[in-house]
Amino acid sequence: MTVADTIVAVATPPGVGGIGVVRLSGPEAQTIAQRLTGRTGLRPRHAHYGRFVDPARGEALDDGLILCFPAPHSYTGEDVVELQGHGSPVLLEAIVAAAVDLGARRARPGEFTEQAFLNGRLDLAQAEAVADLIHAQTAQAARLARSSLDGALAAELEPVSRAIRDLRVIIEAEIDFGETDLESEAAPAIARRADALHASVRDLLERLRPARYFAQGLRLALVGAPNVGKSSLMNRLAESEIAIVTDRPGTTRDVLRSPIAIQGIPVELIDTAGLHASEDSVEKIGMQRAREAATGADLILELRDLTRPETVPAFEFPDDIPRLTVWNKRDCVDERSFPSDTIAISAHTGAGIDVLKQTIVDRLGAGEGGPQRFSVRARHLDGLRTAATHLAAIRPEAPPDLIAEELRLAEHALDELLGHQDHEALLGEIFAGFCIGK
Ligand SMILES: Nc1nc2c(ncn2[C@@H]2O[C@H](COP(=O)(O)OP(=O)(O)OP(=O)(O)O)[C@@H](O)[C@H]2O)c(=O)[nH]1
Ligand SMILES: [Mg+2]
């Protein structure tokens, strides 16, 4: 995007609605809006009524409200004008086309928010939170995204990033004065500070990890031998007869997916074909799909059958995916016949289902009362992991420039999360911390 670009797009969802909004942002937004509406002298942040006319054809397109948000007090930080017309996709497209004729460019997806980030109206995590808020599938997911948008992630990251920078300032100063080793009394103190920073990044990582599921959803695969009741459990959890259930082993062949919510977490529930030794060619394809679905899941629910406890699925469970073993058909056996710490359910009667849901949530550390306070993406966790790795690599006996480099990489990883890459700031800080003559 060049400075001169003015972008335009329909801001309301595709389809028919009571009203539809066309949004313009950029240096020409006001001029283009004036030519479309014939109105000049619009008062900032006031609603004006007007007609929208295609100046090229002199043809009235619609009428509605015009709202003007001059820079920098707008969403994008540039001049923004909103035209609120009737919610007809055809009309809204005609308004956009007329704006394009007048010099605007069609906005790319997310470009208004990108512009807000580039103009410093939002940090990167907030920009991501805008998308998470719009796409939130549950009220809890929306609440967490809202709090990210309010800057909660930045509030957690910035003190850590600042502390890393402070430590680096000290070490860079040593380097600037030609030190090749840290003074013996400085080394233990620096090691202690690096350890403390590593611990705080790891703590942050632990606290943030579960929140990822609220923004991105949790893929929960139901896996087991044939006939243990996977499809029955799917239907029970989805409260709908989605999957075919029969007493014949091998009923489910395809992978079935259903969106549900467990305690505010958006869950994609995945029912799969029963896994056992089979030579049937169709069944083998189904089982291959089942294994693929399981390896792509965030959590595997291995379903077993209390009436046939010896039956296990023909599957090598991946080590890196959390697994929960759940026993079904408890209505068929004596309640005293299984240990109290087993998760025993009945897909038929619904017994134990609430405990199962709670266990799933606890297993992921994602309960309502859990530590998550804002939405988190995989990118954020990756950045924190990178920072933790660099902090863990610091050896006080190493040359100071190596230590400084690890700190720089850790700081960089955190700053990237918020989109801050201002290295002038560090230089300024180093020299401001010097006393004259040293
Ligand atoms: N008594 C009892 N029967 C159950 C329960 N859950 C499932 N069943 C029965 O077990 C049989 C198999 O159920 P499904 O849900 O089709 O089992 P599945 O694991 O999906 O089987 P495949 O798709 O063949 O792998 C059906 O006759 C169900 O009615 C339960 O909790 N109690
Ligand atoms: Mg089934």
Kindly report the pTM of this predicted structure.
0.67
**Ligand 1 mutation pick, 222, 223, 227, max ligand atoms within 8 A of CB:** 227
Residues 7-118, CATH architecture: 2-Layer Sandwich (3.30)
pLDDT mean over 241-265: 94
pLDDT at 239 over 90: yes
Region 406-428 average pLDDT: 73
Residues of the chain with CATH 3.40.50.300: 122-438
What is the C-alpha separation between 181 and 174, in angstroms, rounded?
Answer: 9
Higher pLDDT, 127 or 329: 329
310-350 residue pLDDT tens: 999 999 999 888 899 999 999 999 988 888 889 999 999 99
Helix/strand/coil percentages in the chain, nearest 5: 45, 15, 40
- 254 Cβ contact partners less than 8 Å away, ≥ 6 residues apart: 273, 286, 289
CB 77 within 8 A of CB 119: yes
How many CB atoms within 10 Å of residue 173?
17
Q: For residue 247, which atom of ligand 1 is closest to its CA?
A: 27
pLDDT band at 428 (very low <50, low <70, confident <90, very high): very low
Q: Please count the CA atoms within 13 angstroms of the CA of 39 that sit on its side-chain side.
A: 22
Q: Does domain 122-438 have CATH number 1.10.3720.10?
A: no
Q: Could you tell me whether strands 7-10 and 17-25 are parallel, antiparallel, or unpaired per DSSP bridges?
A: antiparallel
Our answer on whether the CB atom of 232 is closer than 6 Å to any ligand 1 atom is yes
What spacing in Å lies between the alpha carbon of 312 and ligand 2's midpoint? 15
**Contact residues for 168 (Cβ-Cβ < 8 A; gap 6+):** 404, 407, 408, 411, 426
Identify the pLDDT of residue 429: 46
Closest listed residue to residue 437, CA positions, set 177, 201, 74: 177
Token pair 């606290």 is found at: 207
Distance (angstroms) between ligand 2 centre and the Cα of 273 equals 6
Structure tokens at 110: 């997310």
More confident site: 273 or 107: 273
Q: Crossing angle of helices 378-392/186-208, nearest 10°?
A: 160
Average pLDDT over residues 291-295: 95
Answer whether residue 149 shows pLDDT above 90.
no
For residue 435, pLDDT beyond 60 = no
Task: List Cβ neighbours of 268 (8 Å cut-off, separation of 6 or more).
Answer: 217, 218, 219, 220, 257, 258, 259
Over residues 35-68, the pLDDT tens digits come to 999 998 889 999 999 999 999 888 899 999 999 9
Verify whether ligand 1 is closer than 6 Å to residue 251 (CB atom): yes
Query: How far is residue 293 from each of residues 284, 297, 319, 363, measured CA to CA in Å?
Result: 14, 6, 15, 20
In the chain, ranges of CATH 3.30.1360.120 domains: 7-118
